[in-house]
Amino acid sequence: MNLASSYHQTRQQIEAEAAEIEAARGNPARFAPLYNRYYARILGFVYQRTESKDDAYDVTQQVFITALENLGKYKSQGVPFSAWLFRIALNELSRQYRRAKVRQAVNIDDTQVADVLHELGDENTAQTDARLMKTIARLDPDEVSLLEMRFFEQRPFKEIGDILEINEAAAKARIYRLLERMKTIYSALV
């Protein structure tokens, strides 16, 4: 799935979605179209960050319960509803990690490893892969989520900003600060 194209919606689509949200505020049964539209994406997002399928299903269920309970507080800001759901998912994952109910996992493939190593100024070898994993293990859960969104899920800076409730420039700045921190950790592991 191309995340960039699945994220962007026309103004008309966002307005239609706002009408669905408004209808769901008045009648929770009307939340079903939103749930059906985003369930698989939120589950995939959560599953990438957990060690077990059961944990992913539990956290995803809690994301939608929280969304439905707080729908009255949601304010459309001209971005897809999914940004709000992803933010809830990140918060729920953080809460579960802190409670140690869910263990954080990082699922990446060789191409993604090569991309991150390229950003760190190194080449993909067995030794550099191991150093990268040790570097990621030293990051905070929020930093790992940022790394995952940008490099492993290939999310555009704009979408990351919307999920984190910051502007695109701030999202870029966070990514580049994270890369600098990772370079420092990575270099120290030689």
Query: Which tens digit of pLDDT belongs to each residue from 140-190?
Result: 888 888 988 888 888 889 989 988 888 999 999 999 999 999 999 998 987
Kindly state whether residue 103 falls inside one of the protein's structural domains. Answer: no
Residue 124, SS3?
A: coil
What gap in Å lies between CA 184 and CA 178, rounded to an integer?
10
Contacts with 105 (C-beta within 8 Å, 6 or more apart), sequence order: 48, 49, 50, 51
Domain end position, chosen among 50, 72, 98: 98
The answer on 128 and 83 residing in a single domain is no
Kindly state whether residue 104 falls inside one of the protein's structural domains. Answer: no
Digit-coded pLDDT (tens) for 97-119? 777 766 666 666 667 777 788 78
The answer on 184 and 129 residing in a single domain is yes
Digit-coded pLDDT (tens) for 70-105? 998 888 777 788 889 999 998 898 888 777 766 666
Q: Domain count of the chain?
A: 2
Res. 2 pLDDT band, cuts 50 70 90: very low
- The domain containing residue 39 runs over which residues? 3-98
Q: Which two tokens stand for residue 119?
A: 């950003």
Query: Looking at residue 110, what is its pLDDT?
Result: 64
CA distances, 181 to each of 6, 71, 106, 158 (Å)? 31, 37, 18, 22
Kindly state whether residue 21 falls inside one of the protein's structural domains. Answer: yes
The answer on 94 and 166 residing in a single domain is no
Domain end position, chosen among 77, 98, 119: 98
